[in-house]
Amino acid sequence: MKTTLNLPQILRSAACGLACVALAACSAPVAAPATTPAQPANTTAPSAPTSQADLSGIKTYLLDKTAALKAATNDLKAVSDQYYELAKAAGFDYAALFAGNKAQVASLIEDARAKWTVASPLYEQMEGIVAGTPSLAEFDVILDAGASKEEDPANPAPIDLTLPDGRVLEKPGNLFGVSESALWGTFEAFRAKGEFDLNGDGKIEFGEALPDANVLKGAVDTLAAQASKLADAAAQWTPTEADAFTALVVMVPTMSEYFDSWKNSRFIQGEASTQRDFVAISRLADIQDILGSLQVVHQNLSPLIQGVDKTQDEAIGKGLTDLKSFVANVHSQEKGGKRFSPEDADTLGKEAQDRADAIVGQVAQIAARLGIKIEQ
Amino acid sequence: MKKTILAVVACIAGLLIAPFGASASAAQPPALAAEALRSALLQAQLDLSQPAEAIAGVQAARATYDATLAPEMARRAPAAHLRIVDGFARLNAAIQTSDAPAFAAARADVWTAVLQGSYHIVDGAIAGDDAALAQTWLPVREFRRATRFARPNADATLAIDALDKGTMRPADALEVAHADLLDTYQARLNTALDDLAATNAKNYSTRRAEAGALADGYFAILAPAFQTQRGEAALVDAQQRFAQLEQAALAGNDVDAAAAQVEAVLRGFRAAPLTEAEQARRAGQMMRYIKLVPIEYGRGIRNGQVAVDLEIREATTFRDGAEAAFNDLRSIFETRDAAGATEAAQLFNELETHIAQASDQSAVASPDVVREKSDRLIALLTELVPPAWAGQDTGADFDVVATALDQMEQAVAAGQYELAESARIEAYAILESGPEAKIAAFAPQFKTSIEGYFWFGHDGDAGLAGLIQQKAPLAEVKVARKALDGQLALAQDALKGSNAPIAVATNSGIIVFREGLEAVLILAALMASFRTSANKHLRKPMWLGTALAFVASIATWLVMRSTLSLFASFGEKLEAVVSVVAIGVLLLITNWFFHDVYWKGWMANFHKQKQSIIKGAAGQFIGLLILGFTSVYREGFETALFLQALVLEAGPSIVLIGAAAGMALVVLFGLAIFALQAHLPIMKMLIFTGILIGAVLLVMVGNTVHIMQVVGWLPLNPIRWLQLPYWFGVWFGTYPTVEGLGLQFAAAAFVIGSYFLAGRLQKHKLAHGQAKRPTEQPQPMPATK
């Protein structure tokens, strides 16, 4: 008898062997039905969404704002570069720089502040969307919301600044904050040493300081680069219903945080304030800008919400409008010269927060009824 | 007395205007009217320095109330209506005296009375199966403040929707609505008490008065639940203390003392009692979190100094999580052992102090001290937890996994990638030592994706281990985390109801059967071929290896009982190493098998080759012993890990019953192969055995490549166009990756190549031998059957 085997035999035997394994395999799916849990008595499965919202308006709005921010930060960068070159030419001897180029330096600082004041609100006008969308939220921490590692060692803004002179500022905080404290001189480490009477009135008042040119350039260059990255990321982003609901639920309830920073700012505390940012623009303006972007989100979701509950859609829309008006009214009084006391600010902050909680609660009810998951 | 008479008159007036109010109610939804009332009163408070405007604001609020809310309130919630009417009177009085704190307190009273009235209307509507009325009034409510980790509850809304559709009974809907609303108002009460403390510290008289009145108002909504749980006398006492607190806040006197009294009254009170399942889940969270505290603390301290801040913060997080769960359950613990509950609370405080001191580096307690206190606390809590909750709930595991992943994200945000990896491993170990076994059996479709996102990726998406290794930015880590969370949520959902004893026993049986099958196939195939007297001795080393593996598996099981998470954290890597050894040995054996068994004429010339075989006997013995050991232990380790996790959930007896059934199936399967092979003619048996070994080798290679990809020891390139069902991967080790299929193909080529190469060599040898000794012929194969 020959001991070699032929291929058909092998194949037949292979089929036999594999059949054994396959027999065992058959038991795998059998286990699954046993796991199907019975619905608990109190389970209330939401009805499935009946329509899809057209959210393209949110993206269009965001792209307009990111393009504007990109341009504005590049404008700021151009002025910051001029100031840096001037300081470099003076060997970063700021006393000599100021003595030799007082008018030019003062003009550049004023120009840079003006450019910053254009750029910052542009970001605030999209913050509601950026910070409330999980895939974009890190830009918010880097650009506008993140603390420095000294302020919040557990959760600092995840960015280090490499300055033109080679120094590295580890987690110095968000970029608008760093550039603001450099430009207005509210943080010693970011401003030039010495006293500089920018307006020549013989007194050194708030804001009369020169930025450390290295810090300013490092912060502004990175700000412009991040603004550009945000524009790219926004272009790649396609808003979903979950994104839109999440933006509303995440951002609307942050009112008390904004009022807290307003309460601690120069606008309330005056010279007693030690807050190094939010000195140039009142947080009340920022809140209105943020709410504006959230109104855009709601407007785009509105047809979907109306499909579930017209009254609640009306309540959400009215709630956002009223909240924005409420803040605008306070801001208008502030601009009119009214100085609110810290307790007034606390009362107003609580009212804003209560209104925000009510809006968010209603949004959450609609999301649940639509079966849309609000993300963490 | 006069006030009461006035209020009763107002109530009667409200009842009289009810029919007219109904039309107004239809004109404006109650929620919008309530919001208009609330904001008008706030504006009036802001305008208090201009009495005319303030009066106009209060009048507008009253008009809104009378037109829209009062009719239903007076009819269905008269007590709340009386409070509102009284509140409006106090508002007007406060304007007259320009008393801002009194106005703020009255405003808070009116508003919380509106909430109380709405609560009662919704309550009555649900009980009366009037979903439409409940839907109209439910929006007159507050919500828990949304945080990063918690969203406002929508349970009441969904329950009333279900009531409306007839898919939920009124009693069930009522229970859900109570739980949602009472939980919300208790949270608001706590916020009011916090605000009271903060505003008192800053001496904000108006805000303090408002916070005190809000606390009293929220408690009024919770009062029926308090009475049910604590009795009438306790309720009267509590109401007195809240009233004293409101007065103290208004007057600015002894607020701290009054607040302490209220805090004492509320201790252990939970307005919306947790269900039995929720209690068990909280208990599970508590025990898991507290066990992690000394581990994290110990990692953070070196030589009496804080070496790693993040570990201390993790210890804080886990302690806080454990204490929060403890507080939720405290009233139950106090009824079981009041002294034990008090001691446990004290130990929580002591741990908090130690960790806080280490955190701000004011004093650093030895890790031994923290360990000792934690151990004492764990022992106490183990005694306090009712036996019915002892079976651990998988939901708690998922909660702790999420907490550990939060720590990972924080570490990435801080640029501390080593700590992020440590937290990731921690999370994975918790998953492996808990729900993994159930996922494998009851939600297997999620096992690969969860592993992938934890490690080096899934379906082309990056995994957390890979991202941390590359020091990827937080945004990328968050994307992977989000994908992982999605899969974990789906798996958790799929596991609901799978902790019944029968389900757990089935689970354990399936695990034993599936893990044992591969080992049995190798053993049965090889041993069945060693059935002649000439090679029976070769069974011995395999049996010996198998026995050693059993002993090792049992030892692993025993050691795991105390250090489950430690094993779980490196389980995949151990499995990968053992699998590689098993494949190496199997390849050698395969080669030997084809060469010696097929091509040497099935021992026909055994005696002539005896010398050479004897020379290789020692190697053969060791090889077969290792094969027996590795084939069984690689499955035994994973089985021990999985079964241990199930024991935590359902106890050993149920798991062992299931495991015994699974083992019986494995043995039966092995015997069937033995019997099948024994009844086959020797030639067919050899073919069958050879094919079987080849098939097992392919499965082993596929599974080993998969596990090595999971731990990142092999790259992972998915083949996207090839979609294979999950069970196909589990049973055949075939996963659609270039590496997996490529190496399986290579293994198949090796097996088939070995077969033909061995034949070719043998023919060549025979031809060569014939040329030398033309008379020598191979003996014919004995026909045993």
For the beta carbon of residue B168, count every other beta carbon within 10 angstroms: 24
Whole-number pLDDT of residue B66: 96
Cα separation, A38 vs A30, in Å, equals 18
| Cβ-defined contact of B442 to A28 (cutoff 8 Å) | no
Whole-number pLDDT of residue A59: 95
A7 at interface of B, judged by CB pairs closer than 8 A:
no
Query: Tokens for B102?
Result: 């009194």
Average pLDDT in the B502-518 region? 77
- What are residue A168's phi and psi, to 5 degrees? -120, 120
- Does an H or E element contain B238, and which? helix B232-251
Nearest CA in chain B to A340: B46
DSSP structural state of residue A253: G
Q: Which residue has the higher pLDDT, A241 or B574?
A: A241
Lowest mean pLDDT among B153-157, B488-492, B717-721: B717-721
Nearest alpha carbon to residue B450 among B422, B417, B418, B492: B492
> Who contacts A348 (Cβ-Cβ below 8 Å, separation ≥6)?
A259, A330, A340, B46
Report ipTM (2 d.p.): 0.73
- pLDDT level of residue B116 (50, 70, 90 thresholds): very high
Query: Dihedral of CA A210/A214/A215/A218: which sign?
Result: positive
Q: Which residue has the higher pLDDT, B331 or A297?
A: A297
Nearest CA in chain A to B30: A311
Whole-number pLDDT of residue A253: 75
Residues of B in contact with A150 (CB under 8 A): none
- What are residue A194's phi and psi, to 5 degrees? 115, 175
Cα separation, A45 vs A52, in Å, equals 19
Highest mean pLDDT among A234-243, A274-283, B558-567: A234-243
Q: Which amino acid is at A87?
A: A
Residues of B in contact with A362 (CB under 8 A): 139
Q: In the predicted model, what is the mean pLDDT of chain A?
A: 82
Lowest mean pLDDT among A297-301, B13-17, B514-518, B581-585: B13-17
| Cβ-defined contact of B206 to A18 (cutoff 8 Å) | no
Q: Would the pLDDT of A29 be above 60?
A: no
Three-state DSSP class for A4? coil
Cα separation, B750 vs B589, in Å, equals 12
Q: Which residue has the higher pLDDT, A166 or B628?
A: A166
Nearest alpha carbon to residue B626 among B552, B559, B696, B710: B552
Whole-number pLDDT of residue B608: 44
Average pLDDT in the B64-77 region? 96
Q: Which residue has the higher pLDDT, B552 or B647?
A: B552
* B474 CA: distance to closest CA in chain A (Å): 7
Whole-number pLDDT of residue B618: 63
Whole-number pLDDT of residue B581: 74
* B690 CA: distance to closest CA in chain A (Å): 9
Whole-number pLDDT of residue B765: 63
- pLDDT level of residue B3 (50, 70, 90 thresholds): very low
| Cβ-defined contact of A369 to B154 (cutoff 8 Å) | yes
Nearest-CB residue to B498 (from A37, A250, A252): A37
Nearest CA in chain B to A37: B497
| A residues 164-193 lying closer than 8 A (beta carbon) to B | 171
* A300 CA: distance to closest CA in chain B (Å): 22
- DSSP percent split of chain A into helix, strand, coil, nearest 5: 70, 0, 30
* pLDDT tens figures, B4-43: 444 444 444 444 444 443 444 446 899 999 999 999 999 9
Average pLDDT in the B693-716 region? 75
* A369 CA: distance to closest CA in chain B (Å): 7
Q: Which residue has the higher pLDDT, B373 or B568?
A: B373
Query: Tokens for B437?
Result: 């076994």
Q: Which residues are registered as beta bridge partners of A161?
A: A169
* pLDDT tens figures, B296-329: 898 888 888 888 777 787 788 788 888 888 988 8
Query: Tokens for B294?
Result: 């000394």
CB–CB contacts below 8 A, A to B: 221
* pLDDT tens figures, A88-124: 999 999 999 988 888 999 999 999 999 999 999 999 9
Q: Would the pLDDT of B131 be above 80?
A: yes
Cα separation, B266 vs B244, in Å, equals 15
Q: Would the pLDDT of A172 be above 90?
A: yes
| Cβ-defined contact of B139 to A154 (cutoff 8 Å) | no
Whole-number pLDDT of residue A275: 64
- pLDDT level of residue A67 (50, 70, 90 thresholds): very high
Query: Tokens for B713?
Result: 């020891």
Residues of B in contact with A368 (CB under 8 A): 154, 157-158
> Who contacts B2 (Cβ-Cβ below 8 Å, separation ≥6)?
none
Nearest-CB residue to B601 (from A3, A358, A367): A3
Average pLDDT in the B517-542 region? 73
Q: Would the pLDDT of B343 be above 80?
A: yes
Residues of B in contact with A375 (CB under 8 A): 482
Average pLDDT in the B338-364 region? 90
Whole-number pLDDT of residue B701: 84
Highest mean pLDDT among A142-146, A280-284, B205-209, B751-755: B205-209
* pLDDT tens figures, B248-268: 999 988 899 999 999 999 987
Nearest alpha carbon to residue B286 among B403, B169, B205: B403
Lowest mean pLDDT among A49-58, B89-98, B134-143: A49-58
* pLDDT tens figures, B87-114: 999 999 999 999 999 999 999 999 999 9
Q: Which amino acid is at B89?
A: A
| A residues 251-310 lying closer than 8 A (beta carbon) to B | 252-253
Residues of B in contact with A334 (CB under 8 A): none
Nearest-CB residue to A1 (from B161, B694, B781): B781
Residues of B in contact with A42 (CB under 8 A): 159, 168, 172-173, 175-176
DSSP structural state of residue A142: I
DSSP structural state of residue B271: S
